[in-house]
Amino acid sequence: MRVLFLCNKSPYPAREGGPIAMNSLIEGLLDAGHQVKILAVNSDKYHVDPSEIPADYKQKTGIELVHLDLRVKPVEAFLNLFTSSSYHVERFISPNFRNKLLDILQRYQFDIVQLETLFMMPYVADIRTYSKAKVILRAHNIEHLIWKRLSQQAGNAIKRWYLNHLTRTLKRFELKSLEQVDGIAAITRKDAAFFRGLTATPVIDIPFGIRLGEKMSETKGKTLPALFHIGAMNWIPNEEGIRWFLDDVWPEVHKRYPLLEFHLAGRYMPNWLITGYKPQVKVLGEVPNADDFVQSNDIAIVPLLSGSGIRIKIIEAMAQGKAVITTEIGAEGILYQNEHNILIANNKMEFLNALEKCIKQPDFYKNIGENARTLIEQVYDNKLIVNRLELFYDQLRKQSVLRKPTE
């Protein structure tokens, strides 16, 4: 099959959860013998130097990048308050991106056009006009749910009111979009069930898949496990969760275990985290090799209070046999068993209790990590996931799908 991917970020180099999830499918489809073409947004928020992309990847995918200015503009954001349009989506509407898309659609024929995230939906009408391809929405999250949860966490009344506005307009756009595509590939079973309850459009759950290599060797010689978190801090739920953990949980952890270290890695570390002294918290920023960073530590801390979809970094840590302590929101979309292959903690005391048990019983957290690796092997092997996606593509191509006209 010939598949065109429209991506809100470049899938290569894959430095964040979204691009990692995109690239896993792209590489999987290429490995399965399909033809892939990529058109992706390049922005200051997630900028890729084309020279960073290897020649063989460019040759395999024909990747093309179009720069969009995605910065929040105060005047436009203010004027949006008087409309019913989603400001999140409007920022992705670009004449330059559209022109490049039209050029590609007129030069090539595709069987599938896959929209990576809701933010590529404004281009559906053009795809319908210039291509007979089936259009698939890859829903990385239930997007409006992220902002609903953020609004519920907001303490400031004005901020909460503004976030509620963003949630309402994004939800309206998101629900309308479900009827404009031929198929929806949700990233979790929970998200897929949500979409099935709202639309007759075919839905499948296609989680993040990982190319399984050898499990890394166990880190030796430590009297205390090293805690870690890795993730881009320009994603609001990451920053929100880490701020809560450091303010509410870490002081008590440090009091009980003054030599215990917490290592933080990821892009876009905020100033308050870089300059704000917290004892035994090591802020590293972006690291040269994420796998090496994960392997050099022991227990992943993922204190998410909002968000949606699936946490790529949790899957990657589990694949390396690491124990993960996270919230129910953080573990959404993962087929986990609490205290078997993951540890769930939703508040301060539960985090403290989980950490206490891991520190006092090293074999306990090591067994959690071993069981986590087994889960990834059984459920999240990329070959199995890509095979399910291929079957979904075939099903859509062979049957007539009822779809409301694009408005």
* Per-residue pLDDT, 100: 98
Q: What phi, psi does 64 have (nearest 5°)?
A: -130, 140
Output the six-digit token pair for 80. 């949006």
Q: E strands within 101-241?
A: 112-116, 134-139, 183-186, 203-205, 227-230
pLDDT at 214 over 70: no
Q: Do domains 2-209+381-398 and 227-379 have the same CATH topology?
A: yes
Q: Where in the chain are the domains?
A: 2-209+381-398, 227-379
* Per-residue pLDDT, 65: 97
Q: Does domain 2-209+381-398 fall into CATH 3.40.50.2000?
A: yes
Query: What is the pTM assigned to this prediction?
Result: 0.75
pLDDT at 188 over 70: yes
Q: Summarize the confidence of residues 215-231 as an average pLDDT.
A: 76
Burial of 215 (0-12, 13-18, 19+ CB in 10 A): middle
Are 11 and 117 in contact, with CB atoms under 8 Å apart? no
What is the distance, to the nearest Å, from the Cα of residue 50 to the centroid of all Cα atoms in its chain? 22
| Nearest-angstrom CA–CA distance, 343 and 300 | 10
Beta bridge partners of 66: 41
Question: How high does pLDDT run on average in the chain?
Answer: 91
Q: E strands within 195-294?
A: 203-205, 227-230, 262-265, 281-285
Per-residue pLDDT of 335-392, as tens digits, reads 899 999 999 999 999 999 999 999 999 999 999 999 999 999 998 989 989 999 999 9
Q: Between the ranges 132-136, 207-211, 217-221, 332-336, where is the mean pLDDT highest?
A: 132-136
Per-residue pLDDT of 122-133, as tens digits, reads 999 999 999 999
Q: How many CB atoms lie within 10 A of CB 129?
A: 10
Q: What phi, psi does 6 have (nearest 5°)?
A: -105, 120
Enter the CATH code of domain 227-379.
Answer: 3.40.50.2000
Q: What phi, psi does 276 have (nearest 5°)?
A: -85, 110
Q: Between the ranges 56-60, 143-147, 266-270, where is the mean pLDDT highest?
A: 56-60
